[in-house]
Amino acid sequence: MGQNKLILLGLLWLGILLTGGTTGYILIENARFIDALFMTVITITTIGYGEHVPLSDAGRIFTMILALAGVGFFFYILAIFSELMVSKTIENIWGRKMEKEIARLENHCILCGFGRIGRNIFEFIQEEIPVVVIEKNLETIKEIKERKILHIDGDATSEEILLKAGIERAKFLVAVLGEDAENVYIVLTARNLNPNLYILARADNPKVEKKLYQAGANKVLSPYIIGSRKMALALLKPNVMDFMEIASPELQMDLQIEEIYVEKGSSLENKPLRDSQIRELTNAIILAIKRENGEMIFNPTPQQQIFAGDILIALGEKKKLEILSDLAKAT
């Protein structure tokens, strides 16, 4: 039960004690209202000024019951107060620890929004890269705290909040708030704070896509368009869809599609595919090569040259793709 509900329950209990006690003295001892109320207060608080109202045996029995209920009430209030103090202390310790962790992060991802889309993105990427969530919804923040997720409470459109999330050291930013206007503002602010940041943004309205690119987004996606395209593809070309699903992390398959960055000085640099030994060492299939200038070469031939700065789109077993990633690193 939430602390607010516990406090409300305590106030309700107090109201019942005051009302029941006052009414009881009026009915049992025919006391005046003010005398009955005074007797009730000194009884439940255990002050004990004596019998302000002359009591019969029935009145004394009623007073004992009321006193015990009053003691129970104050123990209840003490328990709530203790729980509140302990939870606040733990929360403050965790908050300070979390701030230190965020301050140490580099090349992390800032996730703006933890709604349905934000949650799914977090689940997919949390094992691969550190994530800092920015959220302002109080109920959602409660869930984030319970899960011990690194986060900043506040508005992601705020420059101060983005700086607290370490945007100057971040590698990625994902803007997936429910309002397109807020996503545009986040992208614009983030791009000004970190020109090298890779920004992925959500656009529900196709007309906003151009504005997001103008604001500085590297990639803009509409979850509705993506979802409808996948459903149509599953209907019209189910086998193609099955092949594409290989790259989905939720399938937990050994076969994956990965992108491998070729570093300057790696053993793959300036070699044609046929001499790179990629197939011999990893058995991976190179589906495409993306050049530094953005040119995409699909189904490259064995004679296709590999250059530093290229991104290899490779299909293969997860462990073998790790070997390919090592080959693409500088030696």
In the prediction, which pLDDT does 249 show?
53
- Is the pLDDT at 47 greater than 60? The verdict is yes
pLDDT at 94: 62
List where CATH 3.30.70.1450 sits in the chain: 254-327
Model confidence at 52, in pLDDT bands (50, 70, 90)?
Answer: low
For residues 164-169, average pLDDT:
94
Query: Cβ atoms within 10 A of the Cβ of 188, count?
Result: 18
Q: What is the mean pLDDT of residues 321-328?
A: 92
Work out the average pLDDT over 186-195: 95
- Two structure tokens written together for 129: 């890269």
288 CB contacts (<8 Å, ≥6 apart)?
Answer: 296, 297, 298, 299, 300, 312, 313
pLDDT of residue 61: 83
Binned at pLDDT 50, 70 and 90, residue 236 comes out as confident
Mean pLDDT of 120-141: 92
Does 256 have pLDDT greater than 60?
Answer: yes
**What average pLDDT does the segment 106-119 reach?**
94
> What distance, in Å, lies between the first and last C-alpha atoms of the chain?
58
According to the CATH classification, is domain 3-98 in 1.10.287.70? yes
Q: What is the 3-state secondary structure (H, E, C) of the chain?
A: CCHHHHHHHHHHHHHHHHHHHHHHHHHHHCCCHHHHHHHHHHHHCCCCCCCCCCCCHHHHHHHHHHHHHHHHHHHHHHHHHHHHHHHHHHHHHHHHHHHHHHHHCCCCEEEECCCHHHHHHHHHHCCCCCEEEEECCHHHHHHHHHCCCCEEECCCCCHHHHHHCCCCCCCEEEECCCCHHHHHHHHHHHHHHCCCCEEEEECCCHHHHHHHHHHCCCEEECHHHHHHHHHHHHHHCHHHHHHHHHHCHHHCCCEEEEEEECCCCECCCCEEHHHCCHHHHHCCEEEEEECCCCCEEECCCCCCEECCCCEEEEEEEHHHHHHHHHHCCEC
Residues of the chain with CATH 1.10.287.70: 3-98
Q: How far, in Å, CA of 39 to CA of 20, rounded? A: 12
Structural fold of domain 105-221: Rossmann fold (3.40.50)
- At 311 the pLDDT is 94
Neighbours of 108 (CB within 10 A): 21
C-alpha 205 chain-centroid distance? 24
Residues of the chain with CATH 3.40.50.720: 105-221
How large a percentage of the chain has pLDDT more than 70? 90
The answer on pLDDT for 50 being more than 70 is no
Give the phi and the psi of residue 319 in degrees, each rounded to 5.
-65, -40
d(CA 237, CA 245): 12
167 closest CA partner among 186, 184, 153: 186
Domain 254-327 maps to which CATH number in 3.40.50.300, 3.40.630.30, 3.40.50.620, 3.30.70.1450? 3.30.70.1450
Q: Are strands 172-175 and 271-272 parallel, antiparallel or unpaired?
A: unpaired
What whole-number distance in Å separates Cα of residue 113 and Cα of residue 164? Answer: 16
User: Residue 318 has what pLDDT?
Assistant: 83
